[in-house]
Chain A
Amino acid sequence: MKYKSQKVAYWFFALSMLLLVLQITYGFVMGFARIGFDNLHEFIPFNTARAVHTNLLVVWLLSGFMGAAYYIIPEEAQRELVNVKLAYVQLISLALVGVTAIVGFHFNIWEGRKFLEIPRPLDYLVVVNVLLFLGLILTTLFKGKRQTTTALVLSMGLLFAALLYLPGMLPFDSQVTDSFFRWWVVHLWVEGVWELIMGGILSFLLIKLTGVDREVIEKWLYVIVGLTFLSGVLGTGHHYYYIGVNKIWLIVGGIFSALEPLAFLAMALFAVNMYRKGEKKHPNKLALYWTLGAAIVSFVGAGLLGFAHTLPQTNIYTHGTLVTAMHGHLAFWGAYGMIVLAIISYSLPNMTGRKLYDSSRGRMAFWLANVGMVGMTVAFGVAGVAQVYLERKFKMDFMLVQKEIAVHFVVLVLCATIFATGIALYIIDFYKHGKPSDEALEINE
């Protein structure tokens, strides 16, 4: 750690871990409900569990991204964060808004729009919170000694993510228009600007972990984020095939979303090549595992599995089925979950001074979490494909099909248990690092 103010990141990461545990807990509530054990229905009906599960995902990832920015930006800009106290205010307000929203979901207080369930008054608080965060980050960056491409791409991703939250707040009477602009937020976040954030974090980690020249890494970073937007912006069309808008989206969405895997392929090749070119001397092997893992798993989850049901001819059958959940789980995990865990694994020893670089517990955490998530993805996939055939091809009733595929959710819960064990080990490792300390300043990174 080079600057004292980077320690703020630790608390954002700690909040991330706490919310991740809660997210997994609510995931189990849903998994059990799907196999018939919905004993908590009176207190946590499925729609509550689902809203909590997806919103916690967004908040823990955002908290992780913010922590990453608070760690990376001072180091890249070569100066302390402009105001540490305000960063803590931002952390606490983020946690309060998140917790209030989650509690509200249990009392039927929400907006009921997929992924954007946070009620409108809290939306305004989210905007204020994010403006404060961006103010701190951008002021630090532009008052700094240098503005690197890595820092600019990361900041640009965070800025655009904030701007793109706004279309989701526009009121519409028509369900179609509402849905159309909801995807401006959701799709352009996860298949657009979040990839900038991921690319920025990945670039920072590769520079630090491989020792490859910054100029080389940052040049390819531009190419990757260029490919992301080139395919991802018009790729939004794959959400518009069958929601009641013009057929033009079948062509545009089909072509450009078929190109979306290219950005993820480029990211995976980029990470692996930089690792090969590098000196392989950095002792933090766990951070390297998570970094390369993020690049590779995101290609499989977001790239390949996304492609598997993105063509209009396929999507007409898979739209609105569990096939989407299959793609969603591995994509979010690979692209965003793993990159947050990568930056945490890299920065924790630097912030705390405890060099737990390569523990067997850390390796187990990596493998169990990944094997568990791949297993869950397969379970969702099998359930989804069976659902498509039985319901959409053989015209069976929805609920009868659900009974037929319930067995796959037993497998899902078992795999989720393996995943959760991996995450538990990761969090134990997090805890074992202890608190951040000024004594960790200038340790050899």
Chain B
Amino acid sequence: MLSKKQARAFFLGGTLVTFLIFIGLTIFSFSKENDQTNSENLSAEVVRGKEIWESNNCMGCHTILGEGAYYAPELTKVIDRLNIRYDGNGEEVIKSILMSPSPWQPNGRKMVAYGMTEQEASDVVAFFNWIGKIDLNGFDRVISPLAKEKINN
């Protein structure tokens, strides 16, 4: 029968081993040859776009990389999707929504009117463009069927 001492050894040993493996895998996945985060294309514009994304808590409604609040659309590959819907004007549509002084209400669901400047809106678009080029292990094809059709055509 298991003793308390053995049970403690199981807890401490198991924790140590799994944590070390976890650290090892973290180093592995961010090593240069295994990195698929599109980090080589991170520009000052993209970083500013990320800051705007965070400072307005866009994730509190939208999702990106599948993470967020499920109240508003997933924005990974959003430019591809809107390009198809608006004849290649996806970026302009996004900018006009972000710069609008009055709330955008697609199908009655309201979005906060951020009234961004042209520069801020461009930075957010740069951020979306950068996000759209990350290798997501196949998730991008599930969330962006239109983009997939476009590629196939």
Binding site for B on A (CB under 8 A): 30, 33-34, 36, 38, 41, 45-48, 50-51, 105, 108, 110-114, 117, 149, 173-180, 215, 218-220, 222-223, 225-227, 229-230, 233-234, 236-237, 240-250, 252, 256, 316-317, 319-322, 324-325, 387, 392, 395, 398-400, 402-403
Contacts and interface: CB of A to CB of B under 8 A. Distances in A.
A112 B73 contact: no
Contact of A395 (B112, B127, B139, B145): B145
Contact of A233 (B15, B72, B145): B15
A88 B109 CA distance: 44
A222 B144 CA distance: 46
18 contacts: A34-B71, A45-B61, A46-B60, A46-B72, A47-B71, A50-B60, A108-B57, A112-B57, A112-B60, A114-B67, A174-B37, A176-B38, A240-B29, A248-B34, A320-B67, A324-B70, A399-B109, A402-B109
B50 A175 contact: yes
Contacts of B53: 112, 175
B4 A244 contact: no
Given A229-B15, A319-B66, A325-B70, A36 B60 contact: no
Contacts of A34: 71
B65 interface: yes
Contact of B11 (A105, A229, A234): A229
B153 interface: no
Interface residues of B, number: 67
A36 B103 CA distance: 15
Contacts of B72: 46, 398
Interface string B119-153: 00000000100010011111100110110000000
A50 B71 contact: yes
Contacts of B103: 41
B25 interface: yes
B28 A248 contact: yes
A51 to B, nearest CB: 5
Contacts of B66: 242-243, 319-320
Given A51-B60, A242-B136, A234 B21 contact: yes
B25 A252 contact: yes
Given A41-B110, A173-B47, A233-B22, A112 B56 contact: yes
Contact of B14 (A230, A243, A395): A230
B36 interface: yes
Nearest to B130: A175
Contacts of A47: 56-61, 69, 71, 112
B19 interface: yes
Given A36-B108, A244-B135, 16 more contacts: A45-B61, A175-B131, A176-B65, A219-B3, A226-B11, A243-B66, A244-B37, A245-B30, A248-B29, A256-B18, A317-B142, A320-B66, A322-B70, A399-B73, A399-B106, A402-B109
Contacts of A234: 18, 21-22, 25
B65 A244 contact: yes
A242 B54 CA distance: 20
A45 B10 CA distance: 48
Contact of A316 (B4, B15, B142): B142
Given A112-B53, A398-B74, A399-B106, A223 B61 contact: no
Given A176-B134, A320-B74, A225 B11 contact: yes
Given A51-B57, A244-B38, A320-B63, A215 B4 contact: yes
B39 A222 contact: no
Contact of B29 (A149, A174, A245, A319): A245
Contacts of A244: 36-38, 65, 134-136
A252 B18 CA distance: 11
